[in-house]
């Protein structure tokens, strides 16, 4: 059934402009949005790794692990902080690592 009203056809210029706009949108998503999303996810993962390492250290301390084991867990925390490139947190935690490893006779 026809209504008697014809839909206007897109001109070649409109088709080209539509393709250019779609390409620009695709490029923005690929080159801008995805890298930002990946960086955000990486930061979240690095933070979670640091939290997990700290929890393991606390478990070792409260669970009666040997001083050597506690030192190793403290070093794992430092490694996680370094991996996350968090120099402020590393500066804050490093004295704790030094103290725990000194108790094990490893400093």
Secondary structure, 3-state, the chain: CCCCCCCCCCCHHHHHHHHHHHHHHHHHHHHHHHHHHHHHHHHHHHHHHHHHHHHHHHHHHHCCCCHHHHHHHHHHHHHHHHHCCCHHHHHHHHHHHHHHHHHCCCC
Query: Which tens digits make up the pLDDT trace of 37-73?
Result: 888 899 999 999 999 999 999 999 999 999 999 999 9
| pLDDT (tens digit per residue) in 89-100 | 999 999 999 999
Answer whether 0.85 is exceeded by the pTM: no
The pLDDT value recorded for residue 53 is 97
């Amino acid at each position: 059934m026809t209504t008697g009203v014809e839909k206007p056809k897109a001109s070649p210029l409109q088709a080209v402009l539509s393709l250019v706009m779609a390409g620009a949108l695709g490029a923005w998503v690929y080159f801008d949005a995805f890298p930002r999303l990946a960086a955000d996810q990486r930061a979240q993962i690095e933070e979670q790794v640091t939290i997990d390492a700290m929890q393991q250290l606390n478990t070792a301390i409260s669970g009666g692990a040997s001083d050597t084991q506690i030192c190793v867990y403290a070093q794992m925390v430092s490694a996680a902080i370094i991996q996350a490139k968090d120099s402020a947190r590393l500066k804050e935690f490093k004295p704790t690592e030094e103290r725990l490893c000194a108790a094990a006779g490893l400093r």
